[in-house]
Each structure stands twice: as structure tokens, then as C-alpha cells.
Structure 1
């Protein structure tokens, strides 16, 4: 009778699958017997929609333990690290796609050995720039343990770079003179602007320096900035020019500035006024004296005639 042949060794793919299942089960145990994932057996959410629209999906929370559990859900901003992993921000620090997420229930009680499906929406603002807006759904149990479910959101549309320089003016402060202006992102994509501020007058250039704009200017945002002007001219007519460049577009804002030394000019005007007044008084006094002399001479002549 032939001895039974040994069972064949499972292939490497099967071994990897078994290892993955064991890892998932271990993760479930570490999380207290519950999991959170996109409904429909997906590794993460992928949503693609345009500005001013609403995307909808469902997150599943499965409680495999023997006790009911309460969970909280919230959306937060996220970004990919240099190694491709996802990193999330706190809800208080989120200002992008994380704040666009709303759940049908942000807190839910899931009975033992039960799965709950929670619908959610992502409302994309009409001013949202096209491109990737990574986010995450954070599911947390009563003990503070949490699971992060990635949300890869892509906003469709054509990027539009538009930049503006507004309200250029010269102002004097307690620390000196400065040039103030407003930098505005009028497009639908974030910009990293560079700024140059110059002041050219009839007597030459008194200022040429690089500005200090923000690293990133989000779409629709306007920010007020100021650059110091250490040595403005004391007497000149100057043209202020602020040039901003970003995303292949350039914007220019200008303003005029006339420097007049009012204190010395006032002193000169006062001196000229005093000299003119003195001259006028003198001119008035001289004819009056001459007339008196003439009258005295005529009177003397009459007296002399009478005596003769």
C-alpha cells in the first residue's frame, strides 16, 4: 500500500494573505474589538467632484466585541508624508477638506457584534482650488483609542492663477516711514508670490528691496503688508511701485509720493513775509515825512513874506 504523499506547501501568496488576516485580527484586538473602514471593502475613500458640489459616501464601524460601544466621528485635514504615509491635523487646526465633512451622526452607539453604516457628505466650496485636498475620518471609542480612515479628495477644474496688488500708500509711523499695500489672490489656486518694492524719483531711486509676502496665499485671500522705507527723500517727487509675481502672472500697484520739507519752507515763507511787511511800512512812512517837510517849508515862506 502506497504511503500518502505529503501535502504541498502553500504558495507564497497564500502565506502573505494568511499573514495579513492575522495582522488585521491582531489590530482588531488592539483596538478593543472594533474596526472602521469605508463601506464596500475599500482601503480608503476616493472622491472626485467640482467646486460648489457635494460628495456623499458611507463609513462603516464594526463592533466585534461582546459589549456595546459608543464612537465619535470627525473630519480633519491630512497630508502625505515624504514616505507616502498619511498624517492628520487636529480638528482645531483644520481649515480645508476636513472642515467640509459632515456626518449623519457624529456620535453613535454600536451594539455588540454589530456593524453600523454612517453616511457623510463633503461639501466643496465654490472657491475651492482644483487639485488634491487630502482629509481623514477619525473614529474614536470611549477609551480614547482611534482609527484613521484616509479620504483622498480631488477637486476638478482648470487652475487659474490671478494676482492683484491694491491700496499702495506711504504712511509715517512711530518707527519711521513704510510702504503699505494689499496682496490679493483672485484665482482658484494657491500661490507663492514674490514681491519687489521700488521708489523712483526725479533725483534717483531711493528704495529697491524684496518684499516679505506669506509663503502661500490661498485662493480668495487678501492680506495687508508693509515694507519699511528707511531713507525717504526730503525733497522729491517719487513714484512707488509694488510688483508681485506668482504662478506665471505679474501684478503691479503704484502710488505717488511728494516729499516737501514743510518746516524749512515755512520758516522761509515767514521770513519773506516779515521782510515784505517791513518794507511796506517803510514805504508808507517816507512819503508822509516828505509831505510834512513841504508843509513846513511853505509855512516858513509865508511867515517870511509877512515879515517883509
Structure 2
């Protein structure tokens, strides 16, 4: 299934973050003013770089920067590693000043700045040299064209904005591959009305989805909940998950459950799956209305108070003294009768 190129926007917040907005398939990454894309192959245009290499191998390719405005534009060119954003798991790349470990460290561009005349394109060759000790698996990244000019914004934003566009690079290093997912730290927050039936009951299910393997995954997550005696309370395929989860990356996600039980014991199971891997995690919660919980707590407190009061009102030593009086007032034990002797 073809992956889509994405447009990047860069805000001046520490650390600098790049994020992608979806574009149409088979089109260059584009923000309306300029675009970045791989040079066309002999067969067809490529919307992204998707290459394979063994450790120690060098790859040669070309990137095109197109200026869609009438004025010349100057861009800073650099290669960057990709990651998943913590906010929603979107595809993002590191800024130029951050430490690179994959594509961002292995790619070499002959120039770090390029000026593109208005309405024209510039083609820039580059190489990716995969080191001998490179770990096998996927190493995603991007070739980025950054406009270093700072937009003042609309007046309501205190910080300026820099814009950038990047063409994705999907680099696969030869060797053993391991698809692996993990579902971790499942937590449930339950909210319900004071009086049963008068209001909605909701549960917020939060969890961490982690790619523990070395290949990019397209995860799916299924949510199931069962009540007492195995009753099915909920079955749902979750939609708010990243379309791609990169190797070694994790994202914290939440799911709202409206109409959660108000009086039940609920067992919740999250099952994450992707090609070649499947993993589950569970959590439970007790649904008790506040009014019922308050009545039970009050009844328990009253019972404890009555028990303590009864114990305090009993005379000290009453049980032992009665036993002693009983022993003092008891008749003497019969003695063995003496035989009568007649002469």
C-alpha cells in the first residue's frame, strides 16, 4: 500500500518540531508555495523515497525543490530522522539542530542551501551511506526544504513561524526483521452521576502503544469490555491511532466510552495487531453509583460504631466473675460411700 507524502510546518517552540499534513497520493509534498519530491524514475513519478540497502552500501538519488511563487526563494536543505509525535502519533521529523541517528546522519547533500527562481525547479543530488554496523530494519526520515524566514503570524501568536516541506525517505536496511507491538500502562478513569439513571456514565481509557520491533507498523487496536458473568458491554475498533508507528516509537492514546455501566464490574481488554504481531493488555474497574457507595459506607460506619459501643458497655470481668460465683455456690461433690459391716 503506497505511503503518502506530507507537508511540514515548523513552529519556533523548543524543541523545534516538524509535522506532516496529508497530501493526495502520487503527488509531491506541497504547502502551496513550494514542493519537495523525488526525481521521476524511468517508469513513473515517485511521491516519496522508498529504498533498500545493506550495511556498508551507498545509495545515490536526487530530490527536486519546486518554487510555485513568482519570486525567488532560498531554502535550507537537510536530511532528518523521523519519529511519531506524542500528541497523536503523526509522522514528524527532527529539526536541523537535533542529533540524528539514521537517515539524518547518513545522508549527504552537496549544498545546505539552494535558491530556486520563481516558477522554476532545482534538482539536488544526494547520497545515503549506510554504515557497516547499521541495525537491520526500517530507518524512516525525510529530505527537508526549510524557508528560514520568520513569518510574523496573525498578531494573536506571540511567536513567529517558519515553514518547511519534506519528502519522506523510507530506508530499509537488510537483515533480520522483527515486527513487535506492545500495549502498556492501561488506565481507566470512570465518571458517573450521583443518582443512578440521572445522567450519563463515561469511562476514559488511556494506554501506551509501543513499537518494540525494527520495522514500521500499521497498527489496529480493538477494544472489548465484559461485565459480570461474561456479559459483553462494548466491542469497538479504535480509529484514533497512528496510521504508521515507527520502530522504537510509542504514543499515549485515549478512548472515550460513553454509556459505560453504572453498576457493574467491567474487564477491559485492548488488543493491538499489525502484520506479524499481536499483543493484548487488560484493566478492570468497579462501577458503583455515588449514592449507593455513600449508603454502603454509611452503613459500614454505623455497624462498626455499634460494635465498638457494645464492647465498651459490657462490664469488665463479667464473664470470669460469674464463673467464680458458680463454682463457690456449687454443692460439694459426692464422696465414695463406706460399706456397712455386719458382725
TM tier, shorter chain?
Answer: 0.3 to 0.5
Task: Give the greater-gyration-radius structure (CA).
Answer: 1
TM-score normalised to structure 2 length: 0.43
TM-score (ref. length: structure 1): 0.47
Q: Which protein has the bigger helix share?
A: 1
